[in-house]
Amino acid sequence: MKVLKTLQKVTERAGTIGAGGFLLAFVLALLWPARANVTQPIQFNHRKHVDAGLQCENCHERVSNSPWAGLPQVDICLTCHEQPITESREEEKIRDFAKRNEAIPWKQVNQLPTHVYFSHRTHAASKQIACAVCHGDMEKANAPPSAPLFKWTMTACMNCHEKQHATEDCNGCHR
């Protein structure tokens, strides 16, 4: 009988610990990033470039005529940085990539499932949605983003579509 009571207490404690562990795992799953933060090959300072008079479209050339905005490549950067403007090692990296005839290996920060179709041309050019809505206040950023501004979920997209009175037809985005 004594053994049975001891076993029952151990089981109750294990259940409490198990429930606590489950709760902790659940909270961590909600708060923990879905993937590791991204480190870009060049620590691009958006603020300096905006202060110099550049706009998003100057570096993300395809934003108004393509589904993909495009990332700045060496030839675009060399327009201003063929000769040193500063003593920054980050600026020198551009010329290093050019010398090696390599593309800058930018890493994609915003990831959508492969079955989701998203067009920058439709959102940014046709509907004139400001880049900051999805990408944040990049004109004030002195380093590239390491993670998306928000979690890209169907709920997030549908909330925006509803707010913007955009299509909510499944075939508009799922292909």
The pLDDT value recorded for residue 74 is 96
Backbone φ/ψ region at 136: left (φ over 0), alpha (ψ -120 to 50), beta = left
The pLDDT value recorded for residue 36 is 67
The DSSP string of 37-68 is PP--SS---HHHHHHTT--HHHHSTTTTTSSS
Same domain, 164 and 86: no
pTM above 0.75, yes or no: no
Q: Sign of torsion, CA 170 129 138 53?
A: positive
The encoded tokens of residue 90 equal: 């980050």
Same domain, 124 and 51: yes
Cα dist. 22→10, 19, 25, 28, 35 in Å?
18, 5, 5, 10, 21
Same domain, 19 and 90: no
Domain that residue 25 falls in: 1-32
The pLDDT value recorded for residue 28 is 42
The pLDDT value recorded for residue 175 is 83
Quick one: three-class SS letters along 74-109? HHHHHHHHCCCCCCCHHHHHHHHHHHCCCCCCCCCC
Q: Sign of torsion, CA 153 157 163 165?
A: negative
Same domain, 64 and 115: yes
The pLDDT value recorded for residue 30 is 46
Same domain, 130 and 49: yes
The pLDDT value recorded for residue 19 is 52
Closest CA to 67 of 122, 15, 119, 142: 119
Q: Sign of torsion, CA 164 166 169 173?
A: negative
Cα dist. 9→3, 23, 39 in Å?
10, 21, 50
The pLDDT value recorded for residue 33 is 44
The pLDDT value recorded for residue 88 is 93
The pLDDT value recorded for residue 29 is 46
The pLDDT value recorded for residue 145 is 94
Mark the ranges of the chain whose per-residue pLDDT is less than 50.
7, 10, 24-33
The shares of helix, strand and coil residues in the chain, as percent rounded to the nearest 5, are 50, 0, 50
Rg of the chain over all Cα atoms, to the nearest angstrom:
24
The pLDDT value recorded for residue 35 is 54
Same domain, 50 and 98: no
Same domain, 84 and 139: no
The pLDDT value recorded for residue 111 is 86
Measure the N-to-C terminal CA separation of the chain; round to a whole number of Å.
65
The pLDDT value recorded for residue 82 is 96
pLDDT digit string, tens, across residues 19-57: 555 554 444 444 444 556 999 999 999 999 999 999 999
